[in-house]
Structure 1
Amino acid sequence: MQSFHFAKIQLLLNKPHESTGTKHIKQSGTSSKGNTWSLAQRHASYASILRQSRKHAEEIVSIGLGLKNDSARIHSVQPLYTAGQVLGMRESTIKTTAAGEGNSPDEVDAMRGCVLNLLQSIQRETGWATEYRMQQLLEEWGLPNGQD
């Protein structure tokens, strides 16, 4: 299931934007309002992709917490790394709507900590190298020394 959620994140992030497939035809004397994408629509589309990606990333971490089989844990390194990349952006995960979507900074920190702990335990218990992924995540998060 981690591979499924990993694939969903990859597909979401590489999905062509709908506005690129829309013809922008403006005929004289007519409105092209229905044929163009506004900035607000584009922003809503990007926000939806981020929200969906975050949900898949949370699923990857949740599944990782329950894995016991060493071979399954080794195969979870790349999905966990990708989840860490998605969850690493605090600004994009803070609650921004009245509906309560998103996560608090503390929840984001907890998820990031889970990713690091899972990667560290995979290396410690299986011998599979994950240190380079942990370092990449820490650098992307702006925490090169491992301090949050």
Structure 2
Amino acid sequence: MFHLAQILLLTTNPLQDTNSLLAFRTIETQLIYHARQICGIAQSRPDGSCRVNSVQPLYYAGCCFNRDDERKATVKLLEDIENELGWASIYRARDLEAIWS
């Protein structure tokens, strides 16, 4: 949840100076860092209750990715949650695929 909060703050903070290219690159780097942390935690296969609560963080992490391998890994994590735990999460994977196309 910490990394999700960081992503939300970085994408919605109106006080950030987004006019400079350096500020944009710094924000982009931080977004990717936190998105990768979310996916890394999900890949470590924590307890089922943690995995169920990672659907939204995984969705927002997926929104930050530009590379195909990271996108595919995010979709796989969401699909695994539904297939292994029975918790509806594939709809979020489909939402991400619609955003990416």
TM over 0.5: yes
Offset, 1:70? 0.8
Offset, 1:43? 2.3
* Corresponding position of 1:114: 73
* Corresponding position of 1:85: 63
Q: CA RMSD in A?
A: 1.6
2: CA distance, partners of 1:62 / 1:86: 15
Which is richer in helix?
Answer: 2
The structure-2 alpha-carbon separation of the partners of 1:140 and 1:18, relative to structure 1 and needing over 3 Å to count, comes to: closer
* Corresponding position of 2:3: 5
Unaligned runs of at least 5 residues, structure 2: none
* Corresponding position of 2:100: 141
2: CA distance, partners of 1:109 / 1:51: 17
Higher relative contact order structure (alpha carbons within 8 Å, sequence separation ≥ 6): 2
1: CA distance, partners of 2:21 / 2:13: 15
* Corresponding position of 2:31: 53
State the aligned residue count: 101
Amino acid corresponding to residue 3 of structure 2 in structure 1: H
Offset, 1:17? 3.4
| Shift >2 Å, 4+ stretches | none
1: CA distance, partners of 2:41 / 2:85: 18
2: CA distance, partners of 1:70 / 1:110: 25
Offset, 1:82? 0.4
Unaligned runs of at least 5 residues, structure 1: 20-36, 91-107, 143-148
Query: What percent identity do the matched residue pairs reach?
Result: 36
2: CA distance, partners of 1:52 / 1:63: 17
* Corresponding position of 2:43: 65
3-state DSSP of counterpart to 1:60: helix
